[in-house]
Amino acid sequence: DSGVTQTPKHLITATGQRVTLRCSPRSGDLSVYWYQQSLDQGLQFLIQYYNGEERAKGNILERFSAQQFPDLHSELNLSSLELGDSALYFCASSLVGTGLYGYTFGSGTRLTVV
């Protein structure tokens, strides 16, 4: 157990639907990062939050959004889902707002869009 909790572990949904992925960071960590990993793209950075505020954005689609709540857990919302959104979604956390001291990753949510 890395200390980063992601739920659900698996999700199967239909095209056009909306889903919410949840992440609880390791205790004490203030920053949360979301990554998408598909077979042909590798690990792609989506978005980062630090202490409740958006800190950096990567290749996140407009159909996707995220937020970090006062208790520091984060949610990634994916809407108007397409087949190509099928992927593993990882959440990571770190103590500070950069990757300098290392990330702790969760075990991921496997999203399958049918």
Contacting residue, 21, 23, 36, 48, with another protein by CB under 8 A: 48
Q: For another protein, what does the binding mask look like between residues 6 and 45, x meaning CB under 8 A?
A: ---------------------------x-x------xx-x
User: Alpha-carbon distance 22 to 34, whole Å?
Assistant: 10
- Rg of the chain in Å (alpha carbons): 13
Residue 77 in contact with residue 20, Cβ under 8 Å? yes
Residues 6+ positions from 34 with CB-CB distance below 8 Å: 23, 45, 46, 47, 48, 60, 66, 74, 76, 89, 90, 91
Contacting residue, 17, 58, 82, 114, with another protein by CB under 8 A: 58
51 near another protein, judged by CB under 8 A: no
CB-count burial class (<10 Å; 0-12, 13-18, 19+) for 41: exposed
99 near another protein, judged by CB under 8 A: yes
73 near another protein, judged by CB under 8 A: no
- Total number of residues binding another protein (CB under 8 A)? 24
Q: Which residues bind another protein (CB under 8 A)?
A: 2, 4, 33, 35, 42-43, 45, 48, 55-56, 58, 90, 92, 97-100, 102-108
